[in-house]
Homo-oligomer: A and B are copies of this chain.
């Protein structure tokens, strides 16, 4: 007898599970319930629709071949029924029936199932502040949000947008607003953008990109309320430190899984608040699968449950669910929390664990911050990228990578994804036979170089020191030499302005170090990207200087731009 499969949720995981099941099983009756009007849309594209990169509303719903992914398309091409504007209200697991309501007519409908798929997605977190209901205050998670915001930024020219939250959506939206000529103010509770996703010194580079593109930022401020005018329209955002005028307020403070339906049906909910599933994407009820933004995933490095809602993961979940319902055993092993983002002319990304996460998870992290060129440095258009590789001292395995820069970043992130997933050590990563030609990489690719530096540190071949620690040493007025080994011309164009700073170019080091540098003081060598800094560290150590370290990342990653004169 043909299976009856009901899917709740029609955006990413739901339609994918339905389509995959149909390709494997021609007989199953497949129905997708969706409370909204729109189905199978590109939720991740919404910020680009607001900013106008995506010109037409229809593009958010079109297949690569240009067909509109509406209910008719799914019916005709895939023999999948959609019930839109229909809300699932409860699940009777004993009778195997979903009780739903047609939101247009108010009518109750029952959907019997043999297998049920929960793809109920996530919703934006609503911070506990007054004024979220005011006109002009929006989230950016639904198609309707993007239509509203696009109309707002197009209608009035030169308005003021306040974005609450410097996460992915906040950053992408900042670029969209700026493209339309709006003033943008970001307010973020933490002291950096992408808090939790990137370590401080790497996130600061993103902050610099915001600064250079005239996005104003207020870190470490907490929003207290949004104030409205006499028409019920937002007027300003009030924080614990100030007030920011706002024609539009975008609230982008993260997501929460829509797990209520599952919870009230008695299904197990995980510690993150997402629906708990096994490797087959099965909930605690074997007849019910769940995937996409409403579930929690296993982190592949820590083994712990995490909530990382992402369209790419939702698609993987859908496929695995379709497989398993069709009787084809299939597993979803977990995630690394990978993200890539474009912030104006900067690309950034991360995967695995940050230094802080690694330490918290009980690893002994060894980090290398190794900037390098994305192409051969002499090839036109080559650009510097900053990489931070995190590895475990004990197992020498790669734990995480963070990257930013004007050049190609996603490639290095994806290589790290593969390395971490497969349990590669830094030594194994360093020998990867990655593609090389001048338009694509240095002869030693930036990520291989980062692996070499981490390996050097693990094997005690070199000593280095993080920029934050150097900053502390400067502020504590410690007695050390911050030796900038760049050329005098580079030095004049900008260096760390501190009493400890001294310029002695690498080319003169062997000749002059013994006379110019004291043997009894700690020396921290540095340059632009820490390559010459490293060479200088090795040179001075070789000459007998006892306490020499180079500063990780050089000036390119130095997170305190105000110190550079």
Contacts and interface: CB of A to CB of B under 8 A. Distances in A.
Interface of A: 12, 22-27, 42, 44-45, 48, 53-54, 59-60, 62, 64-67, 73, 76-79, 168, 172, 300, 310-316, 319, 328, 331-342, 347, 349, 351, 373, 376-380, 408, 410-411, 413-415, 417-419, 421-424, 427-428, 430-441, 443-445, 448, 452, 459, 461-462, 486-487, 490, 506-511, 527-529, 531-532, 535, 538-539, 541-543
Contact of A443 (B12, B24, B79, B336): B12
A338 B507 contact: no
Given A413-B435, A431-B333, A444-B315, A67 B507 contact: yes
A443 B76 contact: no
A300 B528 CA distance: 36
A543 B24 CA distance: 12
Contact of A441 (B313, B316, B410): B410
25 contacts: A23-B461, A26-B542, A42-B376, A54-B378, A54-B380, A62-B378, A64-B377, A64-B531, A65-B531, A77-B507, A311-B436, A312-B445, A316-B431, A316-B448, A328-B461, A332-B431, A337-B433, A340-B440, A349-B435, A410-B435, A411-B411, A415-B417, A415-B418, A418-B419, A422-B428
Nearest to A536: B77
Which among A339, A428, A434 has the highest number of chain B CB atoms within 10 Å?
A434
A112 to B, nearest CB: 23
Contacts of A314: 443
Contacts of A437: 44, 168, 172, 339-342
Contacts of A417: 415, 432-435
A341 B379 CA distance: 14
A2 to B, nearest CB: 12
Nearest to A435: B340
A89 to B, nearest CB: 29
B336 A433 contact: yes
A69 to B, nearest CB: 12
A379 B54 contact: yes
A312 B433 contact: yes
B339 A438 contact: no
Nearest to A168: B437
Contact of A543 (B26, B315, B531): B26
Contact of A511 (B27, B42, B76, B422): B76
